[in-house]
Structure 1
Amino acid sequence: MSTTTRQRSAQAWDNSRPGPRRGVTPLVVLAVLFALPGLLAVLLRIFPPTDDLPALVASFISYGVIAWTVALIGFGLAALLARRKAVLVTLALVCAGLLALQLSWLVPLFVPDQRPATTRTFTLLSLNIRGDLGDPDAILAESGRADVVVLLETTPKAVRDLKAAGMYEQFPYRAGTKSRGSASAIFSRFPLSSVQPLPQTSFQMWQAVAEIPGVGSVRVIAAHPCNPFCGPGYWQSEHELLQRVVGDDLDRPLVVAGDFNAVDDHLPMRDLHRMGLRSATDIVGAGWLPTYPANSRIPPLIPIDHIMLNDAMTATSITRVHVAGTDHLGLLATLAGTGG
């Protein structure tokens, strides 16, 4: 063997570095592509936005669980295949930690609260009827399952159509049905008192006190703060107004139901939680119940409709309902007092 050949052999055996095993690079790329939106979800939860596009993106924070799961699997498999594992193992551990963090925000929705009912129960339906587009007969049919109904985005024409369909016969007590524009409305089988509008907002909100047999006086607020694209600051200011109204009297049984245009991860909902309110979904342990959009081929993606209760109230069941013409699923909940 010549000297040149021996030198080349030595270089080939002694100086070459093994490259990555086949399949490692695609796995790493996949993991990074999913880790980036996962990281965005965590940052939006820790530093909550207050307006426009960032607030809309924050509606999808819960999907960070999927992003971190895929990233964890990608980095984990890459670490198994790679010759040099330290960095990939570290990245997999980071993903596991952030996945656990995201799950800590989501899992409580699947765990029932220990909040027993001490009174008779009643049912409440909350539904955004999308102005004149909701089918009045379908709305009446779903409302027939409830004792108290909160309707959002009612218009004068929608109210007339509901009246013609027979809504007034089933629900002789009402609030907000004489509003001139798009408004919230409350329909009740039981007497209503203290009926009054909240201060003017993009969608006029109303409140009333329902005298419910076997339960007593229950304050009901039909909530509909504007979405993040109503204009600079409207989403935040209308949520702040709602919080002030909610805080006026937290001692009596309270139900705040409607289209909040916010998910549990948004700061306005977390503020309501800090005030002592919990969603019926959370209390029952019904899990993650997206309600919007409900008028397309894709399933609902985000849970922006809520039935919120203070600690004097509890829920024993909750389910989603669909009404033709609307772009939200409604929520039908069985509620009761706690004696708290």
Structure 2
Amino acid sequence: MTITDAPTETRPARRRVVVTVLLWLLVIPAAVWFLGRAFGLERGILVMLVAFTPYVAAWSWIPVLLALIGRRWAAAAVAALVAFGLAVCVLPRALPNLDTGPSAGVELRVMTANLLFSGADPAEIVRLVRENDIAVLAVQEFTPNGESALAAAGLGDLLPYAQLAPEYGASGSGLYSRHPLTDPASRRNDGGFQQAYGTIQPPGAGPVFVESAHPLAPAHPTMLSGWSADLREQPSADPDAAPKILLGDFNATLDHRLLRDLIATGYRDAADTAGQGLIGTWGPYDGDPIPPVTIDHVLVDERIGVRDVSVHGVNRSDHRALIASLTIPAAS
């Protein structure tokens, strides 16, 4: 071997080291993301980022492919475990559950819509209510102007009973119903948003508690304490009380531990149950360059069955409307 040959012979080895390091630089962030998601370790800015876990889950297969092509078996094995773990976290939302809850009872169709400071087209909201036979409508970011606009569009003819707490800005809340509301009221959560609620009893059914949910958005580090408090303070499911339906803009996805903890008290997520849990409900719908995420939910007591779920665009809102067809317990 000559002196001039040595650098030439070491180039493949150096290139191999560089490629290996680059592959691990792709694998490690995905592994950290998976561990944070699996153990509910989101903190600070990660609270906002974890909403995009489905996109990371799709991307995580790229390091697997690159490691296999490069024959970096250790990196490929770790990458494959991470990608599989993220798939387990995310993929079931796109598959209908085997257990959709009771099928016998009274059908109830509900809808939730964030109105974006009541800038959403009121005629479109009323059309969705009419065409989908909606019996309960929950609205968020509900202002006095929005209340007047929905009334002028004829919402009261379809849903004559209501508990309304309109406020200028994003904090207003409303609950409209085809059926009388018992003990209607509104409460202000820790983050400052109103949440309208009441109990309905459709013909042939037992009483059902419904609430328009709207925890504070975790849009800034100073808002995280309000966001977490609001999610923790959402009404838990209670098998000894009337079944509950929480519907609204939860400002959280199923990748947030606090929302999963709420569901674990005895709820099912209607969209997840119906295999529609990866359909985006907030994001680019008013022109903002944000990937769609699923932060609007209909949570139903496990005594309530889920028949179907659909998502609908609403003109002049950054949210899409979420409609769920449910089966509520018959009167005993």
TM range (shorter): 0.7 to 0.9
Conserved? CA contact 2:277–2:294, under 8 Å:
no
| Per-residue deviation, 1:246 | 2.8
Judged with a 3 Å threshold, the aligned counterparts in structure 2 of structure 1 residues 74 and 54 are, in CA distance, closer, same or farther, namely: same
Deviations 1:152-190 (A, max 9, x none): 110111101111111112111101246676322111111
2:300 counterpart of 1:315: no
The 5 Å alignment of 1:41-56 reads: 41-48=33-40, 52-56=44-48
**SS at 1:205's partner residue?**
strand
Q: Does 1:330 align with 2:321?
A: yes
Q: In terms of mean alpha carbon deviation, does 301-310 or 136-145 score higher?
A: 136-145
Structure 2 residue aligned with 1:277: 267
CA contact 2:31–2:79 (8 Å) conserved in 1: no
SS at match of 1:131: coil
Instruction: Provide the C-alpha distance between the structure 2 equivalents of 1:44 and 1:143, rounded to a whole number of angstroms.
Output: 39
Q: Tell me what 2:157 maps to.
A: 169
The Cα of 1:67 is off from its aligned counterpart by 2.7
Aligned residue number for residue 127 of structure 1:
113
CA distance in 2, matches of 1:224, 1:250: 25
Deviates more, 1:198-207 or 1:162-171: 198-207
Q: Structure 2 counterpart of 1:191, which letter? A: P
Supply the distance in 2 between the matched residues of 1:303 and 1:94 (Cα, whole angstroms): 29
**Equivalent position of 2:59 in the other structure:** 67
Give the whole-Å Cα distance in 1 for the aligned partners of 2:2 and 2:323: 78
**Structure 1 unaligned regions, length at least 5:** 1-6, 80-87
The equivalent position to 1:147 in structure 2, one of 135, 151, 154, is 135
Name the % identity: 24
Deviations 1:92-125 (A, max 9, x none): 0111111111111123221323224111312111
After superposition, the Cα gap between the structure-2 partners of 1:33 and 1:50, relative to the gap in structure 1 and judged at 3 Å, is closer
Q: TM-score, normalising length from structure 2?
A: 0.86
* Partner Cα separation in structure 2 for residue 138 and residue 305 of structure 1: 18
Matches of 2:209 and 2:294 in 1, distance apart? 23
Residue 216 of structure 1: SS of its match in structure 2?
coil
Report what 1:84 is aligned to: none
Between the two proteins, the alignment pairs up a number of residues equal to 321
CA pair 32-153 structure 1, distance change in 2 beyond 3 A: same
User: Which of 268, 279, 284 pairs up with 2:258?
Assistant: 268
Q: 1:159 aligns with which of 135, 147, 164?
A: 147
Q: Which moved more, 1:156-165 or 1:290-299?
A: 290-299
**1:19 aligns to what?**
12
Q: Do 1:65 and 1:103's aligned partners in 2 also have CA atoms closer than 8 Å?
A: yes
SS at match of 2:110: strand
Contact 2:112 2:322 in 1 (8 A): yes
For residues 213 and 128 of structure 1, the distance between their equivalents in structure 2, rounded to whole angstroms, comes to: 28
Structure 1 window deviating more from structure 2 (330-339 vs 156-165): it is 330-339
Give the match's secondary structure for 2:139.
strand
Structure with max Cα Rg: 1
The match for 2:282 among 292, 306, 309 is 292
SS of the equivalent of 1:132 reads: coil
Match of 2:214 among 224, 232, 247: 224
Per-residue deviation at 1:213? 2.4
TM-score when normalising by structure 1: 0.84
Contact 1:31 1:70 in 2 (8 A): no
